[in-house]
């Protein structure tokens, strides 16, 4: 089974980073992975997105028009990509910055105010990690231990931030459970 997750939001929201952390966690679990960024003129100031493919078999086409899941960190990315998600997938919406409806009755929709949660934790910048925690908890795409390890690895050179990021993951998990 191949899972594809699209992470989308503003440039600067750490979109590419959470995609990379998820890919990393899956790799450590022995899965096949590919991380495909958006690059090109639309990057400047506009929407940033990346796609992570995770599979038990070698990944064929890295060109994926219809991802299984979507993590939409802002309104434009929800509007742009919600319709592309495969039926039965998860759409995680950052309800702090986007309306908490995707208009897709055929998906598992999850609205989490990740920006507000991150603000409460003391750093807006951790919003991406809150979203990652919520998505992983809901999808079970990798184990929670794997994602914790991958986040620690990502912040290995910024040890000071690790407690905050762990807390952010955990808050995400709790929000997804509600």
Partner 1 sequence: MGKKILMKGNEAIGEAAIRAGCLNYFAYPITPQSEVAEYLSKRMPEVGGVFLQGESEVAVGYMLFGASAAGARVFTTSSSPGVSLMSEAISYIAGAQCPCVFVNIIRGGPGLGGILPSQGDYFQSVKGGGHGDYRMLVMAPASVQEAVEMMMMAFPLAEKYRNPVMILGDGLIGQMMEPVEFPDDLRTEPTDKDAWATNGMETRGSDKRNLVKSLYLDPEMLNNHNLHLKAKYDQMRREEVRYEPFNLDGDYRMLVISYGTMSRVCKTAVENLKAEGLEVGMIRPQTLFPFPEEEIREAAGKESCKSVISIEMSMGQMVEDVERCVRGRRPVTWYGKCGGEVPTPEEIMQVIKERIDG
Partner 2 sequence: MGKTFKKPEALTDAHTHYCPGCTHGVIHRLVAEVIDELGIRGRTVGIAPVGCAVLAYNYFNCDFQEAAHGRAPAMATGIKRVRPDLMVFTYQGDGDLASIGMGEIIHAANRGEKFTTIFVNNAVYGMTGGQMAPTTMPGQRTTTSPMGRNVADVGMPVQMAELLSTLKTPGYITRQSVIKPRYITRAKKAIKRAFEYQMAGKCFSMVEVVSTCPTNWGMTPVEAVKWAEDTLLSYYQLGEFKTPEQEG
Interface with partner 2 by CB under 8 A: which residues?
41, 44-45
Phi, psi of 151 (to 5 degrees): -65, -45
Q: Which residues of 84-122 are buried (b: 16+ CB within 10 A; e: fewer)?
A: ebeeebbbbbbbbbbeeebeeeebebbbbbbbbbbeebe
Nearer to partner 1, 154 or 165 (CB): 154
| Residue 58-87 contact track with partner 1, rule CB under 8 A, x = bound | -xxxxx-x----------------------
Q: How far is the CB of 159 from partner 2 (least distance, A)?
A: 22
CA distances from 63 to 46, 53, 106 (A): 21, 10, 23
Q: How many residues bind partner 1 (CB under 8 A)?
A: 19
Q: Is 162 in the site for partner 1 (CB under 8 A)?
A: no
| Residue 2-31 contact track with partner 1, rule CB under 8 A, x = bound | ------------------x--xx--x----
In the list partner 1, partner 2, none, the entry touching 39 (Cβ below 5 to 8 angstroms by class) is partner 1
Q: Which residues of 11-46 are buried (b: 16+ CB within 10 A; e: fewer)?
A: bebbbbbbbbbbbbbbbbbebebbbbebeeeeeeee
Binding site for partner 1 (CB under 8 A): 20, 23-24, 27, 32-37, 39-41, 59-63, 65
């Amino acid at each position: 089974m191949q899972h594809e997750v699209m992470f989308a939001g503003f440039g600067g929201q750490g979109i590419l980073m959470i995609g990379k952390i998820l890919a990393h966690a899956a790799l450590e679990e022995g899965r096949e992975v590919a991380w495909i960024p958006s690059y090109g003129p639309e990057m400047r100031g506009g929407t940033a997105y990346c796609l992570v493919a995770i599979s038990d078999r070698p990944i064929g086409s890295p060109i994926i028009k219809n991802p299984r899941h979507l993590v939409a960190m802002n309104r434009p990315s929800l509007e742009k990509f919600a319709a592309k998600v495969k039926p039965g997938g998860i759409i995680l919406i950052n309800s702090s910055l986007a309306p908490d409806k995707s208009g897709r009755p055929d998906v598992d929709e999850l609205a989490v105010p990740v920006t507000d949660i991150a603000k409460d934790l003391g750093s807006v910048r951790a919003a991406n990690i809150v979203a990652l925690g919520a998505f992983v908890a809901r999808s079970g795409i990798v184990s929670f231990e794997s994602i914790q390890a991958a986040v620690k690895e990502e912040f290995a050179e910024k040890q000071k931030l690790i407690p905050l990021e762990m807390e952010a993951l955990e808050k995400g998990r709790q929000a997804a459970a509600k």
